Chain A
Amino acid sequence: MKKELGITVLLVVLCAIVAVLNPRFLGASNLTNMARLIGMYGIFSIGMGLVIITSGIDLSVGSVFAIQGVILVIMLREWNWPSPLVVLAIIIFVMLLGVMHGWFIAYIRMQPFIVTLCGLLFYRGLARFIANDETKGFGSTGFELLRHLATGSVGPVPMPFVLLIIIGVISYILLHHSVFGRYLYAVGRNEDAARYSGINSRMIILSTYVVEMLLVAIGGILIAFYTNSISPANHGATYELYAIAAAVLGGCSLRGGEGSIIGIIIGTALLQVLQNLVNLLGIPSSLNFAVMGAVIFLGVLVDQISGQRRQKKQVLARAPTPTTPAAPTTPSQAPK
């Protein structure tokens, strides 16, 4: 909980600074636009967070966006399939990719980094090939329902943000209150001990990659309709890095077994505010990445240093294994 608190404070402080320096930050259009982006990025960042909690990683997300985007356009525009069927097909297709990743990682014991790095290359190449390396668009009309999910609003609240809240609540319950969630933390932190407690650790890992890909599929559909066209060479490129950054900022440890849904969502929000800050404060947009890199770095650095301090205190507090109770020592172990 400490980590979430720290990053929330950072988020509030940043918002306050930007709002003071440029009041347009609090303008309705800026806020809704930001909320829309937070919604879209948040959905797949949650997926990434879950994978990171298993001590895995997924570098293929951006390329999956590209290939699913290309197929989405083809199915809707060239094959004229009905929208619900297309959505179902896309979700199943992307989840199957998750099954594949999970299987290679959990059962064949390949490293997640390698498996998904190959995915990153493979899906991107495939997307470009299928699309003949041409940009494919949805056109300006049609597919109203899907379009509404990405660009519409409920009252003042953009639709993707509403979806993020719904998905966030479900994932919160899944991660923090279900058996699956508890096992996820256990497997991520110490797979052997989990196995020795009767947990089917491989199935847990595989399932996590499938759940992640479900969220990627949903996020990917929103992003496709938000951009309204897919240029296969760069659609979604580097989005996996946003997701990793959001998860890590939000308290997920790449060592696994740590992280929370609230943290990931706040991490996502923080990244979007940073983007926004670059725009609103007139910082050259070429510096965009540099600003993000610096802030993420500082955030993780502060967390690392305070974490080490905490740990040192704990180590001191318990010292070596206490000897027999006969030793004339006070039972109090409170650190000074």
Chain B
Amino acid sequence: MNNRVSRCAMFVTPTNPRFIDKAWTRGGDVYILDMEDSIAPAEKQRCRTLMRESIEKAKKGGASVYIRINKPFVDADLPYAVWPGVDRIMLPKTETIEELQHAHEIILRLEKERGIPLGSIELSPMIESALGAVNICELLDATPRKNWSQGGANGYDMAVNLGIEMFADFDQYAFPGAYVALGAMTRNVESVGAVFVPNTSGRVDQSDQAAKQAAALHSAGIQHAGALHPAFIEPLITGLSPTTKETAWANAVIEAFDELTDVGESVGKLNGRVIDTYENAMAKRTLKWASDCADKDAYKARSMTNALADQAT
């Protein structure tokens, strides 16, 4: 399934049956099976042994599955994380090229051993420190594997690294957030989150906060976000999908721009707004994203229907 659509990637704890058994019913685009911070040290090994069945559980509703491993335990975690059905490995606190190359080599070996198409599992360096942020371009060039950029702003780890208290009422990550996102865009790599939205309460379960976050990301052209609570899923998916009005406008722009081109013009007006090559490109992007979202939603709906039918029998 199209991993590009991850409007809401929600973290799930594999060791907690209450979370992992129900995750697929929540409607998320992506579930991130967490082997890192939500797993107590004493539970790490048990978590590893649960990964294969957790992958199957999380995918039942048509979601993609990512796995967040532990930076200190890359060698120990990856053999339990690289299985058919896994779409992406998330490498926390990535700072150096060597860390990414090491993970890439292990994943490549495991892909070979386990009959997984070589290079098909994506790799996401999670930028959670100042060093990771300033190294973003080198990190994204470090391996031939498809990369996704994650982080640069927010998060406890970045806050600790910078020595700041989180949840101030202003953007504390102006440089790392923008720099990581821009660096990713120069590599044609899509980025997850980079727009400041005030959240002085620090709560992660408020749907109105999710809606504000989605609106800010949508305005900034970022289509992907993460979540720690199911209350974020619906607002993020809705807010990061093109609206009917946006797709109608995009269709009208493309039609009008085609007409302009036919008569040798490159700039015109539609309903009082200037349309030009940039508006035309944006409209095409909107329609592509709308199509990808519709495909993902249809796939999830089919998968959900099948899973519910299986459950009934």
Partners in one complex: no
Interface residues of A (CB under 8 A from B): none
